[in-house]
Amino acid sequence: MKINDTISGAAIAALGLTILIHVQAFPAMPGQKVGPAMFPGLLAVGLLICAAGVIWRGLKTIKIEGWVAWPEWIKQHRIAAGFFLIPVVLIVYAAVSEKLGFLPTGIAFLFSLCWVFGVRPLMAFVVAVAGTLVIHTIFYKLLKVPLPWGILSGFVW
Amino acid sequence: MLANVYAAFGQVFDPYVLMVILFSSIFGLFVGAVPGLTATMATALLVPVTFFMPPVPAIACIVTATAMAIFSGDIPGCLLRIPGTPASAAYTDEAYTMTKNGQAEVALGAGLVFSAMGGLFGTAVLVTAAPALAEIALKFSSFEYFWLVLLGITCAIFIASENPLKGFVSLLIGLLIACVGVGNPAGFPRFTFGDANLLGGISLVPMMVGMFAVSEVLRYALTANQPMLVVQDKIGNVFKGMWALTVKYPLQILRGSVLGTIVGALPGAGADIAAWMSYGMSKRFSKEPEKFGTGHVEGIVESGAANNSALAGAWIPALVFGIPGDSITAIVIGVLYMKNLNPGPTIFINNPVAVYSVFLVFILANLLMIPLGFLTIKVAKKILRVPRNILMPMILLFCVVGSYAINNSVFDVGVMLAFGLFAYLMEENGYPVAPVILGVVLGGMLEENFITSMIKSDGRLMAFFERPIAAGLGVMTILVWLAPVAIRLLRSRRSTA
């Protein structure tokens, strides 16, 4: 997704301004002229200066580029589905993995992605089970990362 | 010193470390050879694994994997006309043309042999220059460090980004991310919004995994299902004729290695820029520039040496000052801090064995590259056939678990996703990603040295120019800042005259 520089510049300016206002509330270091607000404050001023430049350039190209240019792939449903599924599976993973456990979540995670990228369902399932077990072995057994067992708590191995 | 070198030998030639080196070699060669997986991504994926290792194998793992990946990036460039890593992009067309002319062996052989030579050259410079620089750096105070960091990030913006203005935005965002948490001179919690997860700052590992691996998977999703055609089936003896090339192009090899090491050592510019510059230089100084682009090996010899020497060069400022030379060393610096091997001139005094081990691993990796690279070329066709629609979901799950593993918290999975999407959007809109990481890694150091200097000088800005080296570095930084303005003025004056 190509956003015109005017918009991204405005967003940067808004960020800079918000930070500049926010840091005013930071306390001073006792007996010093400099405090925790100084460094982020300077960076925010820098952002504002850069934002002005970015907006200036964006205004010059706005007639040719338009405000927002949607990419071609958005119309190809399969590709768009693949792209948007990535954040979806990550959010779902973060939300349910602790309760459901790593193994079931991981299998669903891999199966859905493989499938949307065009792997045949049976193959996708085999890959999902094998891949989840391999990653589980590397991290749980070898690196001792406490991956959650969730609903499989009774079958810990 | 000899005792330290001896101890380093003991550390590196330990069976466990050697096994780590072997596995990371294979991993690096594989990642480099698969188009769409970069050496930086290899590093980001390895960090969660190295988290659980002692310091020496952890560093050995990253050094070996990156060296191998930069070489094996040449393979798909040569056979498919798709560079395996951005560092091979400069001479992909040349190598592919050679393959079409039936000279795949020469192109691959040159990539392999001169990668190793360049890597060894860069290592030699690292071994000699780093300790010498550290001697000087020991005398640095907060004023010198402030300017050095500022000069480093300034160079990174002007050399590495096509659009310095957007590069600055990226850098400032990185520096602001570094402000999150209580890790500032005043110990005041900034930008935490009362969330305990943010008190210690945003964890570096999930952020890097997001920016360098998740964003690649997102990009893959858009290019999926592109067929890959391998031109040449059988690959013969790649070492044939390499000695003749060495004798024919000694100057080119040396020039590529020197340029690569220097570009690598400059903050922000890494192997990919080294390869582009070196390919251009090779063409300009060649006796037969008209042959470039028609399947001529000279440019591959020179830039193949350059991209591998850049890897070692990038470690010079990373070890001596804690200033990364490229995005790989930016990640490495994070790893060094996690392992209590804080980079800086004192690392040569406090941890000489670790430093010598890094040197040894570099030499070992570049020597190992020749036999292992040879085997990789032999099985290249199989690697190129690995279905990426299976590989990419696995990489994503690996990223998730790797990010989770650092703090055992799903909060970090969210951080990874947020930065993955953010990096994707940035690159789509021409904001470079590398300066963000540079800013995050250097933010704490820049602020600390700035605030310390301000307190020491009681707020007098002139104090930043009162020590000779600080003054020199300061003037240099300001000159780099003013250079684009001056050039623009000169140009407009010339065009009006």
Query: What interface predicted TM-score (ipTM) does this complex get?
Result: 0.92
Nearest beta carbon to residue A83 from set B222, B225, B454: B222
What lies within 8 Å, CB to CB, of B37 at 6+ separation is B31, B84, B85, B216, B395
Q: Provide the chain A residues 15-34 that lie in CB contact (below 8 A) with chain B.
A: 19, 22-23, 26-27, 29, 32-34
Residues in A closer than 8 angstroms to B168, CB to CB, are: 46, 50
pLDDT at position B16 is 93
State the average pLDDT over residues A38-54: 93
Nearest beta carbon to residue A19 from set B176, B397, B451: B176
Q: What is the pLDDT of residues B82-92, one digit of tens each?
A: 788 888 888 88
Residues B31, B41 contacting (CB under 8 angstroms): yes
Q: Which of B61, B170, B401 to mutate to test the interface with A (most CBs of A within 10 A)?
A: B401
Q: Is the per-residue pLDDT at B233 higher than 70?
A: no
State whether A47 and B224 contact (CB < 8 Å). no
State whether A83 and B416 contact (CB < 8 Å). no
Nearest chain B residue to A98 by CA distance is B410
State whether B186 and A40 contact (CB < 8 Å). no
Residues in A closer than 8 angstroms to B389, CB to CB, are: 114, 117-119
Confidence of residue B388 (pLDDT cuts 50, 70, 90): confident
CA B9 to chain centre: 26
Residues B207, B48 contacting (CB under 8 angstroms): no
pLDDT at position B458 is 84
State whether B393 and A79 contact (CB < 8 Å). no
Residues in B closer than 8 angstroms to A50, CB to CB, are: 165, 168-169, 172
State whether A97 and B410 contact (CB < 8 Å). yes
State the average pLDDT over residues A20-47: 87
Nearest beta carbon to residue A114 from set B179, B214, B393: B393
pLDDT at position B224 is 60
Higher-confidence residue: B240 or A109?
A109
Q: Is the per-residue pLDDT at B235 higher than 80?
A: no
pLDDT at position B460 is 85
Nearest chain B residue to A1 by CA distance is B428
Confidence of residue A25 (pLDDT cuts 50, 70, 90): confident
pLDDT at position B120 is 94
pLDDT at position A74 is 78
State whether A79 and B413 contact (CB < 8 Å). no
Residues B313, B265 contacting (CB under 8 angstroms): yes
Q: Provide the chain A residues 40-99 that lie in CB contact (below 8 A) with chain B.
A: 40, 43-44, 46-47, 50-51, 53-54, 57, 71, 73, 79, 82-83, 85-87, 89-91, 93-94, 97-98
Q: What does the mean pLDDT of chain B come to?
A: 87
pLDDT at position A97 is 92
Residues A139, A133 contacting (CB under 8 angstroms): no
Nearest chain A CA: its distance from B162 CA (Å):
14
Residues B63, B27 contacting (CB under 8 angstroms): no
pLDDT at position B231 is 61
State whether A93 and B410 contact (CB < 8 Å). yes
pLDDT at position B228 is 60
- d(CA B273, CA B486) in angstroms, rounded, equals 25
Nearest beta carbon to residue B224 from set A8, A79, A110: A79
What lies within 8 Å, CB to CB, of B110 at 6+ separation is B242, B245, B297, B300, B301, B304
pLDDT at position B124 is 93
Higher-confidence residue: B381 or B137?
B137
- d(CA B7, CA B220) in angstroms, rounded, equals 45
Nearest chain A CA: its distance from B217 CA (Å):
8
Q: Is the per-residue pLDDT at B455 higher than 60?
A: yes
At B1, which helix (H) or strand (E)? none
pLDDT at position B266 is 83
**Which pairing describes strands A2-3 and A68-69: parallel, antiparallel, or unpaired?**
antiparallel
Nearest chain B residue to A45 by CA distance is B172
Q: What is the pLDDT of residues B44-81, one digit of tens each?
A: 889 888 888 898 999 999 999 999 998 888 888 888 88
Stated pTM of the model: 0.85
- d(CA B265, CA B309) in angstroms, rounded, equals 10
Q: Is the per-residue pLDDT at B160 higher than 80?
A: no
What lies within 8 Å, CB to CB, of B169 at 6+ separation is A12, A47, A50, A51, A54, B431
Find where tokens 């056979």 sit.
B79
Task: Tell whether A115 is within 8 A of chain B (Cβ).
Answer: no
